[in-house]
Structure 1
């Protein structure tokens, strides 16, 4: 599948870039260096421009292999990277995916997450025909809990983090809207 851009109201969602016109790599390195970010995002390390380049390349490959739809949350006039939102663990046959989300440390608390997550969920239900989207986060991550609630996810319980055995994750779901 080819990456698509999405209008998310005050923001737009686009693929991550590292080219002559727009380079997200410095912002990726900054975000992943933040202690709060690395506390909750444990599956990736982006410590330098080379690792950021691999991260951007990986995200593009995941689009094409239909494993993950990932978008840079971008400021619409400059294209600056504000964060990333995606549909990971994409199962087009089973009709499921999970939200992936992070916001650059300099941009947290500004209401970026909710419109970005809502846009990704709409894409999943509308363009990919998903039936259920999950949202999972560490129990201490109150910002993620607030986003899940504001986006209409329903809390279903706590399970073990597959990337960190013994660590809990709060799980929320949002079923596709019923057609009338």
Structure 2
């Protein structure tokens, strides 16, 4: 499958790239060097350019093989990478996936992820043929909690000790949205 590009108004969703025209390597390293990003995205360590290059190859392969949908969320004017979305754990039989996302520290609190995720869900629930999307976050990560709330996800429950943050087992909240759920009228 070829990567899908999505126009989300002030943001543009495209495949992560590292080629002669566009390279997301430096931005990925910068984003993941942020202590908050590193704390919550501890399963996906992008510690330097080689790791960022490998990440981009991994995301590209996910599109090619149809087992992962991923988007670099970019400012529509400057082209700067401001966030990332990854739909993973795709189960074609159940038509389900889990979404993981992050925002560049300079763009947090501006509503980037809710707008980008809402735009991506339009494709994921349509041509992507998914029926259920899961979103999980640490119980104390209130910034992350605002994303599923704004995007019309339903809180399903608490997953006890399901993640490790700061070398401690922590609980996560699990949210889901179905293709049949109402689309939020207007993102806050």
- Same fold by TM (over 0.5)? yes
Runs of 4+ in structure 1 off by over 2 angstroms are 160-167
**CA deviation after TM superposition for structure 1 residue 160, in Å:** 4.3
**CA deviation after TM superposition for structure 1 residue 11, in Å:** 0.4
Pairwise CA RMSD of aligned residues? 1.7
Partner of 1:175: 178
| Aligned 1:29-178 pairs, distance under 5 A | 29-160=29-160, 164=164, 166-177=169-180
**CA deviation after TM superposition for structure 1 residue 93, in Å:** 2.1
The two structures have a TM-score, normalised by structure 1, of: 0.93
**CA deviation after TM superposition for structure 1 residue 142, in Å:** 0.6
The two structures have a TM-score, normalised by structure 2, of: 0.89
Deviations 1:116-158 (A, max 9, x none): 1111211111112211111111111111111111100000101
**Secondary structure class of the residue paired with 2:50:** helix
Of Structure 1 and Structure 2, which has the larger fraction of its residues in strand?
Answer: 2
Aligned positions, number: 179
**Inter-partner Cα distance in structure 1 for 2:125 and 2:25:** 30
- Summarize the Cα distance change of 1:43–1:178 in structure 2 as closer, same or farther, 3 Å threshold: closer
